[in-house]
């Protein structure tokens, strides 16, 4: 349970900050996506970091339980699968980045979703178990 609380705190704070950034710094994220999509090697290097993070999370927190902690497990698996996807399908990942930068509604949806997940995890990590 301690690891779950720790990861909820870290992921929750990260998602709150990332969600707010998605909602308030759209132009910067579009510029970053455009820049990364222009450099194939950046996508490939980035994908290995994401894969390593996913492996660390999956191996440390693979709890398929019927409570809030399963969200951390799902996020862990999604992180690992995203890293693998970007490694083995880098060309398609590049097209995804280009699509992402051209769809402003996606920033809003992503920002709100990430913000809600962050609030949920912060609640469970900091407040729920006090």
Give the length of the chain.
130
Q: Convert 63-84 into a string of H (helix), E (strand) and C (coil).
A: CCCCCCHHHHHHHHHHHHHHHH
What's the total number of domains in the chain? 1
Alpha carbons 48 and 118: distance in angstroms, whole number: 24
54-89 per-position pLDDT tens digit: 999 999 999 999 999 999 999 999 999 999 998 998
pTM of the complete model = 0.88
Range of the domain at 26: 2-128
And the tokens for 78? 């999604």
């Amino acid at each position: 349970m301690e690891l779950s609380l720790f990861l909820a705190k870290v992921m929750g704070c990260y998602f709150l900050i990332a969600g707010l950034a998605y909602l308030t710094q759209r132009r910067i994220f579009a510029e970053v996506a455009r820049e990364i999509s222009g450099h194939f090697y950046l996508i490939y290097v980035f994908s290995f970091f994401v894969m390593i993070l996913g492996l660390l999370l999956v191996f440390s927190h693979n709890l398929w339980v019927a409570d809030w902690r399963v969200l951390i497990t799902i996020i862990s698996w999604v992180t690992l699968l995203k890293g693998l996807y970007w490694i083995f399908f880098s060309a398609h990942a590049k097209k995804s980045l280009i699509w992402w930068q051209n769809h402003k509604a996606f920033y809003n949806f992503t920002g709100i979703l990430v913000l809600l997940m962050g609030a949920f995890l912060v609640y469970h990590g900091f407040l729920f178990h006090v």
